[in-house]
Chains A and B, each alone.
Chain A
Amino acid sequence: MDTQIELGQFQRWMSAAIMHLGTDNQAVKSDEVEKEIPWSDALKFIKPSKTLTQIERLGLYRSMYILRLVDVLKMDFPSIAYFLGDDYRDFVERYLQVYPSRSYNLNNLSYDVPNFIKTAPNIRRREFLYELASLELMLSHIFNLEETPVLTKEAIAKVSPEVWETAKIVPIKAFHLFDFNHNVNDYLEAVQNDEKPPKIKKKDTWVAVYRRNYKLWRLPLSRDAYNMLSDIVAGKSLSDAIVNAIEKSREPQEVLQKQVFKWFQEWVTEGFFQKIET
C-alpha cells in the first residue's frame, strides 16, 4: 500500500476527529470522521493506556484543540468575548467549523471573524458586533505593520508657505480610519479598562486607529475631523482637504478654521503622518 495514502488516511481521520464538534463519542462516530476510518477499525489501532481508554486518549487532543483556539481568538477579540460571555466558546466552535485554521500563523485565524459575524445565523446585535470585530481585527493588523518615519513639527516648520497650496501629507502605514454606526470604540475602551461597557446604541462615531512607538492607540474624531482626515488619506492636498471639510461642516467657517489648526497640531503630535509630498 502506498505510504502517502496510508499515513494520509490516518492523519485525515485524526484531524477530523479532533476538529469535530460535540462529544468525543459523537465525533468518532460522525459521518465525516467515519468516512476516513470507521470507529470500529480506529479502536483497533489506538492503544489504550493503563488508565485511559482509546477515546479518552483521543479526547485529550480534542479538548486541547478547542481550548487553545478559544484562548488565541480571545487575545485578538477581548470585547467580542466579553459581549458574548457564556456564548463565546460556542461562537468560536461555530466559527472554526466554517473557518478552520489554514495557516501556520495563528494571527491569520482571526481574519474571517468579521465576515463570520456578518453571515452566520443567530448572531445577536449583528451590526454592532461586526463593527466591534472590525475594530479589534484592525488593531491586530496594525500591530504587525511596518514602522514608518514620523513627520516632525520641525520638518513642517521648514515647508515654505507657497508649497502648502498643493502639498499632500502621507499618513504612516500603521494607520486606519473608521466610520461606525455604533458606539464601538467606547465599548472597547471600557472592556480594556475592566469597566462596565456602556449601553450599546446606534450612533455615528469616528475613530482613528494607529501605532506610535510600537504601541496601539485610538483617537475618537468628530465628523468634521474625520472628513478632513479621510481626504488626506485619500491623497488630496491639505488645502483641498481643509476646503472640503469647511464646506461639509455644519459649523461656522471661522470656528472650523480654528479647529482645523488645532486638529492638525494634534495629529502631528500623535504621529499620524510620515512625510509631505510637494
Chain B
Amino acid sequence: MSKNRWNFPDLGFGIGLRTVHYPTILSDNPPIDWFEIISENYLDTKGRPIYILDQIAEKYPIVMHGVSMSIGSTDPLDIPYLKKLKELANHIRAVWVSDHLCWSGVAGTNIHDLLPMVYNQESLKYTISRVRQVSEILERPLILENPSAYIEFTNSDITEWDFLATLAKEADCGILLDVNNIYVSSFNHDFDPKEYVDAIPSDRIVQYHLAGHTNNGTHIIDTHSDYVIDPVWQLYERSCKRTEGRSTLVEWDDDIPEFEVVHAEVLKAKAYRKQPEVIEVAEVAEVAVVGV
C-alpha cells in the first residue's frame, strides 16, 4: 500500500463541475467532497463562469483538469496559457492541476481533441523534457491522465503503461488514472487492462477518473454519457488495492443527469475501495531513457 509521492490529500469522492448543476450546487450546498473543473472554461473570462466558480471554491476543494496543454505536441509550449493556468490555480487554491498525455494540435492549429501519441524512446525523451518545463512554470507537479485512444501506431515500441510509468518517474509527474480510459483503449487495441493497471507505479497515482462510454460493437468511444460499467468498477477495485485513499471522481459530459444521479454514481466507488489489501507495489517498468 502506498501513499502518493507528494502527499496530495485524499479529497474523497467528487464529480466534474458542469454548468447544468450550478443551480443545485449553489442553492442546496450538496454534501459532496470536491469538484474538478475543466480549466479552459474559466480562463479568459471575468463573467458568470468565474463568478460562480468563486462561490463554489469558497465551499468545496477544487481540482483543475485541462484539455489544451498539448504536452505531446511538437509545437512550442503555450507559455501565456500556462501562466493563466497558474494564475487560476492560485486564485481558486486548486489542490492540483492535471491534463492529458496527448497532443491537441500542431503548426499553430488546434483540433480540440486528445490525440494519441506515438510511444517510443524519442517521444518519451521529448515528453519528459516538456513535463519538466511545465512543472517549473506552474510551480507544482503536473498530473497527467491516460487518454482513451482509437488508433495506434507501428512505430510505438513502448506500451502506453510503460511509457506513462517511466514518464512519471523521470519527469517527476503525477498520474490521474482513468480506469474507464484503460478499459476503452484495451477494447480498441486488444490488450489486457489488468496488465495496464498493475504496471502503474502506485505512489504516482494522485487521482482516479471513472466514467461511462459508448460501445459501438467494433469500437468504444469515451463519451462520458452513461453509468460506469462493471468491468471498469473491477479495474478500479483492482487498482485501489495498491493505492491507499486516492481522490476519486466521476466524469459525465453528455446526456448529463441530475446532480444527485452523478453524485450517487461516484459514491458507489466507496464500496470498491473499502477493504484495501496490502499487496506488493509493482516496480516501475524499466524503460531506458537516453540522455535525460
Q: How many residues of A contact B (CB 8 A)?
A: 47
Task: Enumerate A127-174 residues with CB–CB distance to B below 8 Å.
Answer: 142-147, 174
- Does the CB pair B44–A144 fall under 8 Å? yes
Q: Does B40 contact A (CB under 8 A)?
A: yes
Contacts of A146 in B (CB 8 A): 46-47
Task: State whether B48 touches A14 (Cβ < 8 A).
Answer: no
- Contact between A15 and B107 (Cβ–Cβ < 8 Å)? yes
Partner pick for B219 among A15, A60, A65, CB 8 A cutoff: A60
Are B218 and A51 in contact (CB-based, < 8 A)?
yes
Q: In the bound complex, how far is the Cα of B189 from the Cα of A57, in angstroms?
A: 11
The reply to whether the CB of B108 lies closer than 8 angstroms to some CB of chain A is yes
B115 / chain A contacts, CB cutoff of 8 Å: 11, 14-15, 18, 61
Closest to B39 in A: A104
The smallest beta-carbon distance between B98 and chain A, in angstroms, is: 15
User: In the complex the two chains form, is B47's CB within 8 Å of A7's CB?
Assistant: no
> Given the complex, which residues of A lie within 8 Å of B46, measured CB to CB?
144-147
Residue on A nearest B154 in the bound complex, by CB: A45
Q: Give Cα distance in the complex from A61 to B151, angstroms.
A: 9
Segment touching A, from B57-65, B119-127, B169-177, B256-264: B119-127
| Chain B, 22-74, CB within 8 A of any chain A CB | 40, 43-49, 51, 68, 70, 73-74
Residue A200 at the chain B interface, CB threshold 8 Å? no
Contacting pair B111 A60 (CB below 8 A): no
Mask: chain A, 40-67; 1 = CB below 8 Å from B; 0 = not: 0000111101111000011011001100
Query: Given B48, B110, B190, which contacts A49 in the complex, CB threshold below 8 Å?
Result: B190
Residues on the A chain within 8 Å of B283, using CB: none
Q: Does A205 contact B (CB under 8 A)?
A: no
A14 to B125, CA, bound (A): 21
Contact with A68, one of B47, B73, B112, B190 (Cβ below 8 angstroms): B112
The answer to whether A45 touches B155, judged by C-beta atoms less than 8 angstroms apart, is yes
Sample (29) of A-B pairs whose CB atoms are under 8 Å apart: A4-B74, A7-B118, A7-B122, A8-B106, A15-B109, A15-B111, A18-B113, A18-B115, A45-B153, A45-B154, A47-B151, A49-B219, A51-B217, A51-B219, A52-B218, A52-B219, A60-B150, A69-B112, A100-B109, A102-B109, A102-B110, A104-B78, A104-B81, A104-B110, A105-B68, A107-B45, A143-B48, A144-B46, A145-B46
A residues near B (Cβ < 8 Å) are: 3-4, 6-8, 10-12, 14-15, 18-19, 44-47, 49-52, 57-58, 60-61, 64-65, 68-69, 72, 100-107, 142-147, 174, 211, 214-215
